[in-house]
Chains A and B, each alone.
Chain A
Amino acid sequence: MSLLKPIPPDRLLWEELLPGGRHWSGLMRRGTVLRLTDLRGGANVSALFYNHEEKLERYNMPDTLKSQHTAFLTAGHTLQSDMGRVLCSITACSVGWHDTWCGVADGAMTDARYGERRFQQHRNAMIRSGRDGLLIELAKWGLGARDLVPNVNFFSKVVPDADGVLSYVEGHSREGDAVDLRFEMNTLVVLSTAPHPLDTNPTWDPAGVKLSAWRADPVAADDLCRTSCAQNGRAFVNTERFYAGAAC
């Protein structure tokens, strides 16, 4: 089903389906991988990450982009916290570009674009914006709007022209496209599968994704992400220091 290498059955921890337009949060421990698989094509997974032990430490878009000299995310990149550490590494990816500039749509944007669909009338076909989905999940961990920082939008691509004017790329992710996130820290992961805020489809029809958690190999000295640039090498040192002396 996934375009990435099959997960060894003896490594698999759990799998769960996350339908389009819904939200999820959970803890991914250091040394595990979360694979996100686009089940239909055109998925968008808005994601935020927090150090589970100190939730003031969180995914930081500017530090992640500037230290790796990139404006987009793909295999070989790390997702860095604001404390110079690696929350997770993109160890494999069949998509080639994930957006991290455009944030999420809020309720007003979603209502204006797709029309309001409330639970009373629509039940499971209700519409909930990406921002609302993330806020609901954040609240379960004692977090809130102050913790909503620029997120990753996995499976989505937006490109600038020479003047910086943005265009959303339709059809960027296909059925079976997937991305592996190997966690280097015990991390709170918060997800929404609502459409990208610049998605050009006027109809609410978000794709579902599969979440697969599995056990990774220890990070080798010649690991793809550790060695992709010197900056990542130092970020891994910072991360290892955080856990220095711990049993896990």
Chain B
Amino acid sequence: MLIESPLDAKDAVLDEVCEAGAPWMATVKRGQTLRILDLEGNQAVDTLFYSAADPEERYSAADTIARNGRLYLSAGTKLYSSEGRVMLTIVADTCGQHDTLGGACSAESNTTRYALDKRPMHSCRDSFMYALCTCHDATSRRMSKRDIAPNINFFMNVPVSPEGHLSFADGISAPGKYVELKAEMDVVVLISNCPQLNNPCNAYNPTPVRLLVWD
């Protein structure tokens, strides 16, 4: 179900652009709303959430799938933590469906999925590692690779058939589509704006996304 947001960008307390291939971290307080906007369409935004109070409590793909009883994320989906608590709720979505099975690309998985000599290509895992080492939200919490668990891929479409087949379908996002989440606890957001060039998750053209936060 598509739900539009009543919020106006001019009222946002944060409004930033994140380039493809770059990480982004910010704290979003309980009650605030985060919008991730796909500026040019069909850009995969690999996203993780952590409790700002203790990153050991973090977004759990398995808890979110099992507790919602549904494979895909869309308006109304509650994003659950590893402690079984609701971290955020998707309150608006003009795209329709988001993935949490596909995970983040990495230099290592690029060697198995595509070719051994693709290891040097940029990847979401490398962006996550870079954020762990250089973003204050991560370094101040001494976060490490142990804290990187399977993520959400906003704007990515990976349908699963009842027979268990995965298909890498054409993206359903488009320029200007967005997803909006209301924080139910203070959270730290870690995003990798995906640089993958080997498959169509970014329509072979990784592009910037816009991030906004409202009180």
Contact surface of A with B, Cβ cutoff 8 Å = 56, 60-63, 65-67, 69-72, 80, 82-85, 97, 101-104, 106, 108-109, 144-151, 159-166, 197-198, 231-232, 234-235, 237-238
Contact = CB atoms under 8 A, between A and B. Distances in A.
A128 to B, nearest CB: 16
Contacts of A162: 162
Interface in B100-143: 101-104, 106, 108-109, 111-113, 115-116, 125
Interface of B: 56-57, 60-63, 65-66, 69-72, 82-84, 97, 101-104, 106, 108-109, 111-113, 115-116, 125, 144-147, 149-150, 158-162, 164-166
Contacts, number: 136
A102 B150 contact: no
Contact of B112 (A67, A146, A198): A67
B131 to A, nearest CB: 16
A146 B147 contact: yes
B142 to A, nearest CB: 11
A62 B166 CA distance: 11
Contacts of A145: 56-57, 82
B144 to A, nearest CB: 8
A151 B149 CA distance: 12
25 contacts: A61-B62, A61-B150, A63-B106, A66-B101, A69-B166, A71-B160, A84-B112, A101-B65, A101-B66, A101-B71, A103-B65, A106-B83, A149-B149, A149-B150, A159-B164, A160-B160, A164-B70, A164-B71, A164-B159, A166-B65, A166-B70, A231-B112, A231-B113, A234-B111, A234-B112
Nearest to A234: B112
Given A62-B150, A71-B166, A197-B66, A146 B101 contact: no
Contacts of B104: 62
B75 to A, nearest CB: 13
B71 A166 contact: yes
Given A106-B84, A151-B62, A66 B70 contact: no
Given A62-B103, A66-B101, A146-B147, 8 more contacts: A60-B150, A147-B146, A149-B149, A166-B69, A231-B113, A232-B112, A234-B112, A238-B112
A148 B82 contact: yes
Contacts of B144: 56
A61 B103 contact: yes
